[in-house]
Amino acid sequence: MEVKILTQHYDKPEYQSLEGYKKYEGYQQLKKALTLKPEAITEMVKQAGLRGRGGAGFPAGVKWGFLPNNGKKRYLICNADEGEPGTFKDRAMMDRAPHQLIEGMIISAFAINSPKSYIYIRGEYFESKRIVEKAIKEAYAANLLGDNILGSGFSHHMDIYSGAGAYICGEETGLISSLEGKKGQPKLKPPFPAIEGYLAHPTIVNNVETLAAVTIIIRDGVEGYRKYGTEKSPGTKLFSVSGNVVKPGNYEIPLGTPLKDVIFNLCGGLKQGRKLKAVIPGGSSAPVLNEEEAMSVNMDYEDLADKGSMLGSGAIIVIDDSNSMVELLQVLMHFYHHESCGQCTPCREGTGWLSKLSNSILEGSASLNDVKLLEKVANHMKGKTICALSDAAAFPVLSFVSKFKEEFISAATANVALQFQSKNGQSYKRG
């Protein structure tokens, strides 16, 4: 069921070095791309239907097509911040195949006519940074980066920049602010980065996996790339599977693969005696699926949207009947409250309320009204803020509470009963 297109050589340690990468057709796609017209590459990426792998799923070629022809220097930024809880695929891509990413970036830079790119890497990824830095040096030494690349007349320079541990710097405008040396706070869109991004120049921000996949599109062509996946969600994608499965890890599968096959075949199912309870299919910001939904959904952009969730960053978090949904939500809300940058009132205050309410439901000082209040606060946080972090905190709350209401009610009321019992020796329930 796994189809290893991007990850075909990831099991070979030598693939990390330029020499090893070249043994397996490394940089052949760059050579090919440099003989094509830049617009033809953008058109190929559009026709292949490659959608952004960082979370929003926006078509990459369409985004590139938004760049204005105003003569300004264009920048390419690789988003390697990988902060979405549950996601660990970009790290694997950088660690196992740094040159695949660099090759994809040079081809993409050539397509959009950009002389300079940055890889914005998550601060905690020390080892990945070391590996990518070494690969960039190797590429410079082989004239795969720098001036007049392989005598083509195209010049491109690449740098790496470390984040400092803030989730919000994964949001593209927050990332750009951080790269500019400012506070990593998102900005209102429009203008979108393609029009006004890094240093107010037209800028394309793409995820690690999106940029690496460009190499595959050049190699296999549009039809070859579309051989896997569905009509509207073509290609393969890396999924990071974590939680209560026997074999967690990164798996590359064609988009459209049934989630139940991923969990019960690829990942070896659940531990003995455990029952599937829920699945977060696309990173912690994606609405949770209950068992019935999880068993019938296919892992593509459309089917997940039909089921009220999203593919997001491709992080599948499997939850079995030994887990408390109340506890899980409390952990998530603590995270979003901690990571809110504080610019927008609904997000700054709302995430604080969600964190406090979920905490009190879990710890024993809540009422039934607090469960209702949790939903009410989340409903006021959607679509009202500068960036999508506020929605990302609200979505899990609404799906957790609506799909597991009994669990939240019984946690809230059981805890209240205990609280009263301890004070006066009697047990009441408050609604």
| 196 touches ligand FMN by CB under 6 A | no
Residue with tokens 């459209």: 256
- Nearer to ligand SF4 (CB atom), residue 18 or residue 341: 341
Q: Where do contacts with ligand SF4 occur on this chain (CB under 6 A)?
A: 168, 186, 340-344, 347-348, 385-387, 389-390
Q: Which does 235 bind (CB under 5 to 8 A by kind): ligand FMN, ligand SF4, none?
A: none
| C-beta of 206 vs 413, nearer to ligand FMN | 206
User: Which of positions 201-220 make contact with ligand FMN (CB under 6 A)?
Assistant: 205-207, 210
The least distance separating ligand SF4 from the CB of residue 12, rounded to whole angstroms, comes to 40
Alpha carbon distance 39, 96 (integer Å): 30
340, interface contact from ligand SF4, ligand FMN, none, CB < 5-8 Å by kind: ligand SF4
Q: Which residue number has the CB closest to ligand FMN?
A: 52
> For residue 244, what are the contacts with CB-CB under 8 A and spacing of at least 6?
270, 271, 274, 318, 319, 320, 322, 323
Residue 92 binds ligand FMN (CB under 6 A): no
Distance CA 60, CA 56 (A): 11
Whether the Cβ atoms of residue 263 and residue 298 lie closer than 8 Å to each other:
no
Pair of tokens at residue 196: 């006004």
Question: What SS3 state is found at 78?
Answer: strand
Which residue number has the CB closest to ligand SF4? 347
SS3 string, 226-272, reads: HCCECCCCECEEEEEEEECCCCCEEEEEECCCEHHHHHHHHCCCCCC
Check binding of 79 to ligand FMN (CB under 6 A).
Answer: yes
252 near ligand FMN, judged by CB under 6 A: no
3-state secondary structure 131-184: HHHHHHHHHHHCCCCECCHHHCCCCEEEEEEECCCCHHHHCHHHHHHHHCCCCC
Query: Tokens in use for 12?
Result: 């070979």
User: What's the closest the beta carbon of residue 30 comes to ligand FMN, in angstroms?
Assistant: 19
Partner whose footprint covers residue 414, from ligand FMN, ligand SF4, none (CB < 5 to 8 Å by kind): none
C-alpha closest to that of 75 among 201, 170, 214, 207: 201
Q: Is 240 in the site for ligand FMN (CB under 6 A)?
A: no
CB 235 within 8 A of CB 241: no
Candidates 14, 58, 165, 231: give the one binding ligand FMN (CB under 6 A).
58
Is 387 one of the binding residues for ligand FMN (CB under 6 A)?
A: yes
Considering the complex, state which of residue 21 and residue 120 has its C-beta at the smaller distance from ligand FMN: 120
Rule CB under 6 A: choose which of 3, 56, 142, 368 binds ligand FMN.
Answer: 56
Comparison of 134 and 348: residue with beta carbon closer to ligand SF4: 348
**Residue 347 binds which one of ligand FMN, ligand SF4, none, with CB within 5 to 8 A depending on kind?**
ligand SF4
Task: Tell me the per-residue interface mask from 133 to 172 with ligand FMN, x by CB under 6 A, - otherwise.
Answer: ----------------------------------xx-xxx
Query: Residue 256 binds what, of ligand FMN, ligand SF4, none (CB under 5 to 8 Å, by partner type)?
Result: none
**207 binding partner (options ligand FMN, ligand SF4, none; Cβ < 5 to 8 Å by kind):** ligand FMN
Residue whose CB is less far from ligand SF4, 340 or 413: 340
Q: Is 361 left (phi over 0), alpha (psi -120 to 50) or beta?
A: alpha
What does the alpha-carbon distance between residue 325 and residue 318 come to, in Å, rounded to a whole number? 12
Radius of gyration of the chain (CA): 23
CA distance 78 to 226: 24
How many angstroms separate the CA atoms of 193 and 80, rounded? 17
Q: Between residue 306 and residue 335, which ones bind ligand FMN under the rule CB under 6 A?
A: none
**Among ligand FMN, ligand SF4, none, what binds residue 83 when CB lies within 5 to 8 Å by partner kind?**
ligand FMN
Q: How far is the CB of 83 from ligand SF4 (least distance, A)?
A: 12
* Count of helix runs (H) and strand runs (E) in the chain: 17, 9
Out of 30, 42, 49, 84, name the contact with ligand FMN by CB under 6 A.
Answer: 84
Kindly write down the DSSP assignment for every residue of 373-431, as one continuous string.
Answer: HHHHHHHTTTT-SSSTHHHHHHHHHHHHHHHTHHHHHHHHHHHHHHHHHHHHS------
Residue 82 binds to ligand FMN (criterion: CB under 6 A): yes
Contact 197, 205 (CB under 8 A): yes
Min dist. Cβ of residue 409 to ligand FMN (A): 30
Q: Which is nearer to ligand SF4, 84 or 252 (CB)?
A: 84
Q: Give the span between the Cα atoms of 339 and 97, in whole angstroms.
A: 30
Residues engaged in binding ligand FMN (CB under 6 A): 52-56, 58, 79, 81-84, 167-168, 170-172, 205-207, 210, 387-389, 392
